[in-house]
Amino acid sequence: MALKNFKFAQTNEKLGALLNYALTGIVQSNLDRLDMPGMTSSLDLLYKHRGLGYEDEVEFYFLPHASGIEGAPIDFVVISDLLFNPGEAGLYAYGEFAQNLYLELLKQSEGDSMLRDKALRLIEKFNLQKFANTCE
């Protein structure tokens, strides 16, 4: 899978906004659909295929792409906003992406024990708990 030519976001504010926007939708769909029979979660697809076009709004790419090499380390994540800023992308270290994914899972499951259980299962599945101590 070759990466497209992107114009990369140039400020920390833009990068933060893009990451938050991208993670809000994917986490919401994973918490809503996690236990649906026959439904593979978006995060499972992203981690397995190292890339995901999410509902025609956002594209995620894990680098190196490592096509066919399962379990290879992920160094970077490219997120492209297809809906509001087509062609614009953000490049994140994997730790930054994972930390924000961890925080978003906790944020969206706050106050609901069923959602919190789903969030904790996803955190464990993708080994995100090791990024908890880097938060704030």
pTM of the model: 0.84
- Quote the CA–CA distance of 5 and 88 in Å, as a whole number: 9
Beta bridge partners of 91: 78
Kindly tell me if the per-residue pLDDT of 10 is higher than 90.
no
pLDDT value of residue 1: 45
Percent of the chain at pLDDT above 70? 87
Q: Tell me the three state secondary structure of residue 18.
A: helix
Q: Is the peptide bond before 86 cis (omega within 30 degrees of 0)?
A: no
CA 133 to chain centre: 19
pLDDT range class, residue 35, cuts 50, 70, 90:
confident
Tokens of 34: 């996690």
Q: Of 114, 56, 108, whose CA–CA distance to 81 is shortest?
A: 56
